[in-house]
């Protein structure tokens, strides 16, 4: 399950679809781990946009965060970090089984 809290960042429906297409891989990987839940918070302060993703799954909890000048760049970096961390958790879980 993915929950988006856009805060004071204005997103059009096409922007939300763009974000979801980027998050599909992370969602698939998280569902394989089990008990997957993610909350994405976006906040703009001046010219900087901060994206913070809090993830809970069967392998543990973690937070990914990025601050960039544009929300797309911040989201792209956050998604990259999410996928890398979820992949790492999958490998750790495979090693313990």
Paired sense of beta strands 48-57 and 60-68, if any: antiparallel
Mean pLDDT across the chain:
93
To 10 degrees, what angle do helices 71-96 and 13-33 make? 10
Those residues with Cβ within 8 angstroms of residue 24's Cβ, 6 or more apart along the chain or in another chain? none
What phi and psi values does residue 4 have, to the nearest 5 degrees? -110, 125
Question: pLDDT at position 97, please?
Answer: 74
SS3 27: helix
4-46: pLDDT as tens digits = 999 899 899 999 999 999 899 999 999 999 899 999 999 999 9
Residue 73 has pLDDT above 80, yes or no: yes
The domain ranges of the chain are 2-96
Thinking of the domain 2-96, which architecture would CATH place it in?
Answer: 2-Layer Sandwich (3.30)
Taking the C-alpha atoms of residue 64 and residue 70, their distance in angstroms, rounded to an integer, is: 17
State the pTM of this model.
0.89
Residue 67 has pLDDT above 80, yes or no: yes
């Amino acid at each position: 399950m993915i929950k988006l809290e856009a805060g004071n960042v204005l997103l059009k429906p096409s922007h939300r679809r763009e974000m979801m297409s980027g998050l599909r891989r992370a969602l698939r990987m998280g569902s394989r781990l089990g008990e997957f839940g993610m909350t994405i918070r976006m906040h703009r302060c001046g010219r900087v946009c901060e994206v913070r993703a809090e993830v809970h799954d069967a392998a543990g909890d973690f937070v990914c965060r990025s601050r960039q000048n544009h929300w797309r760049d911040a989201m792209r970096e956050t998604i990259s970090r999410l996928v890398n961390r979820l992949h790492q958790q999958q490998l750790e879980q495979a090693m313990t089984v």
